[in-house]
Amino acid sequence: MLDQDALRWEALLSRDPAPDCGAFLYAVTTQGVYCRPGCPSRPPLRRNVRFYADAPSAEAEGFRACKRCDPKGERAAIHAAAIRAACDLIEASEATPSLATLADRAGYARHHFLRLFKEITGVTPHSYAASVRARRLQASLAAGDRVAEAVAGAGYGSESRVYEAPGRVLGMTPGAARRGGEGETIRIATATSALGPLMVGATESGVCFIGFAEDFDALEGDVRQRFPKARIEPAPEALAETVRQVVAFLEEPKAALALPLDLRGTAFQRRVWEALQAIPFGETRTYGQMAVAIGAPRAVRAVARACAQNHVSLAVPCHRVVGADGDLTGYRWGVPRKRVLLAKERAGAKG
């Protein structure tokens, strides 16, 4: 088994910003600087490297922070504050501010601002503004405003722009959103699984809910909260095969749970959910690694939120994401069950 320094050296060479061996910094004796493991500079010779747990330890021995990878996070904090201010401006504006306006306010060149914005938030300013408009539209429709008024108030030029791609904007038509899902039918079916009561919900498009480990009333309450005015219809026969697959997976996971899904979320959430589905069976990833996987290495918190907002557990395996130190962190259905799921998947992968 490799010792701690050997693991750190491997992480340094692979430029892994969130290594499994835990957080660390490394110093290069010939340059007098210390860096993060993901530093883009040329890898040093092993004999010139020293490893440290934190910045004070490296600085105590005379090393200074690298200007390229910013190991103390000072430059990153300045960038994050600038992007936060840009997001606030988008939120407060009736019309979407131009890229030039946002970049000038932040004090950056347009191309540099665009790169920073996408790196920190995971989306472009245009996509972020689109999500703000969609949120305003959703709130107005939920409050009972007429569709035309809600569309205009949210900043859309016309109703046609919303109706052209309702799934991308709201996950449903504006009329259905205004009615709280009224007009839709959500079929549900229940079973007893290895991890407690199980409920599956599905629309005509696919599975929209998988929940377990709570009593059936609570699980149905989750479905109704998401679709408050939809028709909830028991359909044990229609969903029998789907339920059988989920129960079998909870009993003895052997492969990915492949089901037709009705995923409704923002563009960023969908990117995260697709990345979750790409995690190999029997393996885990950290939130930092997931952020890197979707091309937004600084959007770790946003990735964590998207994982928490996943409504189809198991099919979109958010249980395969852990903290940087290996801690199981939170899980909608309980950390003990997350531990059981991961143990079963590791055993299944070895078998």
Whether 109 and 103 have beta carbons less than 8 Å apart is answered as yes
**According to the model, what pLDDT value does residue 151 have?**
52
Q: Kindly state the tokens that stand for 38.
A: 């993901």
pLDDT of residue 29: 95
**Half-sphere exposure (Cβ direction) of 227: Cα atoms closer than 13 Å:** 25
* pLDDT score for 18: 65
**Which residues have a catalytic role annotated?**
35, 318
Under DSSP, the state recorded for 261 is: B
Per-residue pLDDT of the chain (351 residues; tens, 9 = 90+): 568 888 899 888 888 776 777 789 999 999 999 998 888 888 899 999 999 999 999 999 999 999 888 888 888 788 888 988 998 898 888 778 899 999 999 899 999 999 888 888 777 888 888 777 776 666 655 555 554 454 555 555 444 444 444 444 445 454 555 455 567 889 999 999 999 999 999 988 899 999 998 899 999 998 988 888 788 999 999 999 999 999 999 988 876 678 899 887 777 788 899 899 999 888 999 998 998 888 888 788 888 888 988 999 999 999 999 988 788 888 889 889 999 999 999 888 776
Residue 205 has what pLDDT? 84
Give me the pLDDT at residue 174, please. 47
Output the DSSP codes for 1-14.
---HHHHHHHHHHH
- Which pLDDT belongs to residue 300? 85
Q: How many CB atoms lie within 10 A of CB 46?
A: 11
Provide the pLDDT for residue 163.
Answer: 43
Q: Which residues pair with 234 in a beta bridge?
A: 188
pLDDT of residue 124: 84
CB 276 within 8 Å of CB 290: yes
Q: What pLDDT score was predicted for residue 169?
A: 43
**Direct distance between the N- and C-terminal alpha carbons of the chain, in angstroms, rounded to an integer:** 22
The pLDDT value recorded for residue 39 is: 86
The whole-angstrom separation of Cα 213 and Cα 193 is 9
**Model pLDDT, residue 175:** 52
Do the beta carbons of residue 310 and residue 207 sit within 8 Å?
no
pLDDT number for residue 230: 84
CB atoms within 10 A of CB 338: 21
Q: Report phi then psi at 122, rounded to 5.
A: 90, -5
